[in-house]
Structure 1
Amino acid sequence: MTTHDVFSDSGNQTEKLRRALTTPLLTLYGLGVTVGAGIYVLVGTTAAEAGAYATVSFLIAAVVVAFTAFSYAELSTRYPVSAGEAAYVEAGFRSGAMATLVGLAVALSGMVSAAAVAIGAASYLQGLFAAPQWVLTVVVVVLMGLIALWGITQSVTVAAIITLIEIGGLIFVAVWGFGISEPLGVDLVDMLPPLVGPHWIGIGAASLLAFFAFVGFEDMANVAEEVKDPVSTMPKAIVLTLTIATLLYLATTTAVLTAVPLSRLASSSAPLALVFEAAPKGVQQSFAIVAIVATVNGVLIQMIMASRVLYGLADRGHLIAALATVWPRTQTPVSATVVVMCIIMLLTLALPIEALAERTSQIVLLVFVLVNSALIRLKMRGGTVPQHFNVPIIIPVLGVLTSLLLFGTAWL
């Protein structure tokens, strides 16, 4: 039996996941978790590390992500199943134990990321509601868990609508920061770093945080079992997600650096709102609502991803069978979703947002190294697969090297 045969059937459950996601929905799903997960929350923290060169950190993170994105595009068409990374690693390394560890790492990264974003959502919510942050955080997680249980088409449609709102919010930040707000920050020419100097240590450290803002495109691989025509849809959606997110991030970060003094930006837990400090009250409140919606969306989509990973591992016998339980009415993994929701709530109460973001980035980078290595092994073992999307072997090789380099910045 070939590795493809192993993953052509994702288990023996009577109730299976519904193939309902098209290219637009899948792209909006990827943008929803990517865009909402970091840019609304961590621009200030990134600026604290890189200063005026924060935009360069986002560009470096985008390059690192790009190589691995193309590796995912090939692997997700070879093995269009839930718990995609676990399937890729098991196929490449022929190790069920390694696949289980990778799958659990992916699920953990999603839950840690969702916890970080839930804290960010609660910070924005406190501007509108006089309630303790932990109460608002728990409310956000529970509500998103209920939507995730509703059904994949319904929950992703809700996420897609929210995604369009949050993208509109970023465009609004860029327009206001460049064209309307008084330029109190950094000049454009001062955002380009000299080729050598100690500033690159800060840029490298900031790139690890900026990488958190790109965490999301890989989540699309974990709903591949619910995608219509994955061979055509997956590569297009992955490339579109990465391209649109990168352009949005570069425009937004540059606008914020232009409009807001670095000292204010570096100390803010709601950094994008600073662009509108001199704006009319109605504008400020409108953007606050958009920011809340954006961060809440990140929680929902990471929750969907993590629950599908646990479901996929259980469905293939790597975890307890109860986690593969599918609710017949909605065809969603009910047990896995409830477990994910509970773990996210515990994480939000235990760790600060900066620690959650950095741990997420490190976990995902290690997973990227293993996924790219798995593709290298598959290509060396069996060549290309003509009926699927294929990339040259240099792509996963560069994916391994760039992921290791960015991971190493944590110790600079």
Structure 2
Amino acid sequence: MTAPDSQAIEANHGEKLRRSLTTPLLTLYGLGVTVGAGIYVLVGTTAAVAEAYAPVSFLIAAIVVAFTAFSYAELSTRYPVSAGEAAYVEAGFKSGLMATLVGLAVALSGMVSAAAVAIGAASYLQGMIVAPHWLLTVVVVVLMGLIALWGITQSVIVAAIITLIEICGLIFVSIWGFGMSGSVGIDFIDMLPPLIGPHWMGIGAASLLAFFAFVGFEDMANVAEEVKDPVSTMPKAIVLTLAIATMLYLATTTAVLMAVPLSKLASSSAPLALVFEMAPLGIQKSFAIVAIVATVNGVLIQMIMASRVLYGLADRGHMFSALAIVSRRTQTPVVATLLVMCIIILLTLALPIDELAERTSQIVLLVFILVNAALIRLKLRGDDEPDHFSVPIAVPLLGVLTSSLLFGTAWL
């Protein structure tokens, strides 16, 4: 990779990000990071903890996310800027230090998440390319970094195309798992847990892993500065992303549990490929390509998000001004993107996938608690304006409660 052309770059306030994202593109952006980052990689890990009740863990995670999603829908229309969570916390708590810490936590969660997904992508790639796992992981991260440097519109269009492919892949998994693979897994009726029993401890713990699969909608808030008409676009795209992802996850998880023995599923880092083990070779290879594409998409979008957070913090004076340098040619934050790419590579080489996923979930849940609390403070202060999307105060209150309860499962 060559160094950026210094004549094509201007700092802080010379070049600004371009508002070019519409509702369909933003929804596909959210679905790309949500769907690719979770279901293609972590179904097996979730099933290892919740066993037959893995779909229930995904449902619980979706409920937890829903309250916070509506809080983000309001806050992203109040403050449609990069590093959104940092701006929300700064407005709610009047603390630049808290804003900086939250912004760094969000960027870190994106980089840790991207590292987890890059490891999953390399696992799928190893089924087709004979090469060391670490080398494939590094190649994935570098290629996605180059696309992220290309430009926001180009990056999101690439991500949108990939997202459509990965959604079709999940639909195919569901159809094959339900009707064509031969049921050698768990019967549907056995996936419904009794109302009382020790199994809820496992379901709760697995919900923290399943929550990782929903990490993504909040990333849309961090590209709000590049969205056309954010007051209208942001709420619609956030709700659509969450609704579509939830339906896909429940269908896919149920189909995989029915088609694959639990013992094999729980030990796999490329779980969805197991559905096609008895399928014709052409179908196996076709799905492997879809899975690779889906997982690298998650790396790309998390990389875009983390770089925008660092850019936003620097642009508002909370971090080194070099991180706010924007290329005049591509209008992307060059230094921030290169830094994010290097950190992701280091994380992929240092930590296993399940630990990366759990740490991502914990960081994001802490951010959710603070973001909901910031909205509560704004509403109690009466800081309302007529030109933004608004939710009742009960929504952020329930967001704090549900996020805290799920975060607490990590310590049980």
TM-score (norm 1): 0.97
In the aligned structure 1, how far is the partner of 2:384 from the partner of 2:97? 26
Is 1:260 equivalent to 2:257 in the alignment? no
In the aligned structure 1, how far is the partner of 2:385 from the partner of 2:118? 41
In the aligned structure 2, how far is the partner of 1:13 from the partner of 1:384? 29
Is 1:145 equivalent to 2:145 in the alignment? yes
2:380 is matched with which residue? 380
Provide structure 2 residue ranges, at least 5 long, that are not aligned to the other structure: 1-10
> 2:76 touches 2:84 (CA, 8 Å); kept in 1?
yes
Is 1:157 equivalent to 2:157 in the alignment? yes
1:83 is matched with which residue? 83
2:173 is matched with which residue? 173
In the aligned structure 2, how far is the partner of 1:383 from the partner of 1:309? 24
Tell me the CA shift for residue 385 of structure 1: 2.4
Once the two structures are superposed, the pairs formed by residues 326-365 of structure 1 within 5 Å of their partners are 326-365=326-365
2:28 is matched with which residue? 28
2:117 is matched with which residue? 117
In the aligned structure 2, how far is the partner of 1:373 from the partner of 1:136? 41
For 1:35, give the aligned amino acid. V
Provide structure 1 residue ranges, at least 5 long, that are not aligned to the other structure: 1-10
2:49 is matched with which residue? 49
In the aligned structure 2, how far is the partner of 1:222 from the partner of 1:148? 15
Is 1:287 equivalent to 2:287 in the alignment? yes
In the aligned structure 2, how far is the partner of 1:256 from the partner of 1:338? 37
Match of 2:388, SS? Answer: coil
Tell me the CA shift for residue 383 of structure 1: 5.0
Moved over 4 A (4+): none
2:314 is matched with which residue? 314
- Provide, for residues 214-261 of structure 1, a one-character-per-residue CA deviation record: whole Å limited to 9, x for no partner: 000000000000000000000000000000000000000000011111
1:397 is matched with which residue? 397
Tell me the CA shift for residue 205 of structure 1: 0.5
What RMSD over aligned residues (CA atoms) do the two structures have, in Å?
0.8
Tell me the CA shift for residue 384 of structure 1: 3.3
1:298 is matched with which residue? 298
In the aligned structure 1, how far is the partner of 2:148 from the partner of 2:12? 23
Is 1:210 equivalent to 2:225 in the alignment? no
In the aligned structure 2, how far is the partner of 1:53 from the partner of 1:370? 30
- Provide, for residues 198-223 of structure 1, a one-character-per-residue CA deviation record: whole Å limited to 9, x for no partner: 00000001000000000000000000
1:323 is matched with which residue? 323
In the aligned structure 2, how far is the partner of 1:386 from the partner of 1:362? 34
Tell me the CA shift for residue 411 of structure 1: 1.2
- Provide, for residues 165-195 of structure 1, a one-character-per-residue CA deviation record: whole Å limited to 9, x for no partner: 0000000000000011100111111110000
1:251 is matched with which residue? 251
For 2:106, give the aligned amino acid. V
Is 1:200 equivalent to 2:200 in the alignment? yes
In the aligned structure 2, how far is the partner of 1:12 from the partner of 1:285? 46
For 2:107, give the aligned amino acid. A
TM-score (norm 2): 0.97
- Provide, for residues 352-395 of structure 1, a one-character-per-residue CA deviation record: whole Å limited to 9, x for no partner: 00000000000000000000000000000015322110000000
* Equivalences, count: 402
